[in-house]
Structure 1
Amino acid sequence: MTPRADVVVIGGGQAGLAAGYHLRRLGVDFVILDAQSTPGGAWQHTWDSLHLFSPAAFSSLPGRLMPAQPEEEYPDAVHVVAYLRDYEKRYELDVRRTVRVLGVHRDGQLLRVETDSGTWHARAVISATGTWWHPFLPAVPGRGHFGGRQLHTVEYRRPQDFAGRRVIVVGGGNSGAQIAADLAYDTELTWVTQRPPRFLADDIDGRALFDAATARRRALDAGRTDTGGVASLGDIVAVPPVRAARDAGLLTAAPIFTRLTRGGAEWADGTRAEADAIIWCTGFRPALSHLAPLQLRGPRGHIATAGTRAQDEPRLHLLGYGDWTGPASATLIGVGRPARDAAREIAALLDARHG
């Protein structure tokens, strides 16, 4: 018998769990399908030194405050994984593992969710797969000719793996700054950025970023002038390890190189930097390949949304991919409100069709 649920949530990370919390409160029948074998979403795959940008109390999913981590103002990824595991258990969320969704299809009045372990039918779907599984690598001349090791943020774990080596870190965002700070002491580091690094004021953390993102969304929704949101404040949160490396003079960025060579990087003026490894901290794209059968992408690959709802498929909601699916919705603190809105819209849709 083909399994059915009123709502199928795709992804068991923070966005999927927040959706499950609100669906459960509304009494909606749902299931969460997660490709990971254990709870914790992408947090269980990050580099060892990664910490949140905010204290625990300001990094919580709806309904359950994250407990403080002893002796840590900003909790580490291991603490976040434990919190997500507890959250899932506390609210008895129906998460099925290990289930990889292959495609979502229209099937009359239902959506057909094909997976590597069977097919589900649902009256609505929430896609909450995030971006971690779709790393972005820029098209840089000579990238295929470089003779050393190349890896993306998702593959980096610890500085000891590169001790004594020549490493180029590419990227001027938080990941680039944090990994550069990680490597600054025991490697021959070259940090390159597209534009000069913009550090936020030392007293700004995730709380202020969430407030800025929310204020921008409210201004845009009200037709007022764009406040600029988080981008108006800077690009890099000065978490303690980044601050320490910066203040020690170890985080001096060079402009982006012109091309790669077999032995390293080269700039337009002929300057060269030899390298044993290049770490691309160049961001991510939404992991949405499972939605391809619905043919919702526009000319630039973007799925048009109204809030979290796909404009051309009202039975589909996208949650946790960034500001285009809710202010700061890719963060722990930010995903709660759009998850609530998505759950309410879906509940209303199901009620209307029952009626």
Structure 2
Amino acid sequence: MIGQIQLRGMTWSDPRGYDPLVAASTSFRELYPDVDIVWDKRSLQGFESTPVEELASIYDLIIIDHPHVGAVVEKNCLLPIDRLAPEDTLAQLFAETVGKSYPSYFYKGHQWALPVDAACQVQALRPDLLTEPVTRFNDVIAQAKNGRVVWPLRSPHVLMSFFTLLANQGAPFPVTQQSQIDFNAARNVISTMQTLAALVDPACFDMDPIAALDALAEGDQFALCPLVYLYAPYGRIGYRPHRIAFHDMPSLGTSGPFGSALGGTGIAVSSETKHPEICTKFALWVASANIQRGLYSENNGQPANAVAWSDPLVNAPVGELYNNTRMTHEAAWLRPRHAGYMAFQEEGSQVLLDALTGKTGPDAAISALQQRFEESFCA
């Protein structure tokens, strides 16, 4: 029976993004019988690029990516979660977050979303084909020379790999205006990426993480994906023909699995909703430890709550992937979030693709990245 209050939510189409929210909405209706939440979904590419302000005029609840935060604050299209949420509840969620997931949605004095999904670039492998994770990027190159590596290079993931490897060397990409890219570190990263790109199947240039993980799981050609966003459902037996194991990222620098580009998602409330109180209640409920470690993770969800990440019952069905990638997530790097960043993310990805395909040289690519990043603050 449809409730008296009908809410619309927008998420992304992968089971990881859709299934847990549908399950949570069904359970939430048991607590609030007059509330009915219906979820629509868009593709991963649409999730990464669609302006949130377009969605906020239609939907009450929106799953967002933290780099959108600067733009949504400028457009005033989301309701600050802290306006209606109890301060002590928010403090508890902050204390329970994995890595920088919670603060990634804090911008200009307000909390604009609550993390419900934590992710960063980690290592994925086929445990039946590769018995141990690799620890150094030289080992990745060695595997690639044997045709065993798949690597998602479709925009924006080529830029995410650049970000990850740059930060891993101790020279993270700038996040503020008039900050300079470390030229020598960036040149080394691009050189490493060029070496690997020349060894992998050209089809990688059209792959996002889902496509790369499918290629890893469905045949016996590939054994390793060195940098890919964590996708917990692939750790379940039966989700794909072969189970994938996830581990901490391989290191290019000397500090271990440090600096992976943070991903994940948060749940936000539209500033145009007619039901801000109940939307906030639902957001807090979905982000809570009990829901994250229970029905959320049980329904293909990938929780952001550290209580869930530490729970043996959450880890066991997915091959201990939360335990095995925890260090990388805790040491992840937070991307820029200013209003012009999303356009730069697209432009920067193309700059790197041109460098990896030989259309431009590393020095020219670094200069272009620096120029376009500066211009993004004036957009």
User: Which structure is larger by alpha-carbon Rg, 1 or 2?
Assistant: 1
Bigger share in strand: 1
By relative contact order (CA 8 Å, sep 6+), the higher-ranking structure is 2
Select the structure that is richer in helix: 2
TM-score, structure 1 length as denominator?
0.26
**TM-score, with structure 2 as normaliser:** 0.25
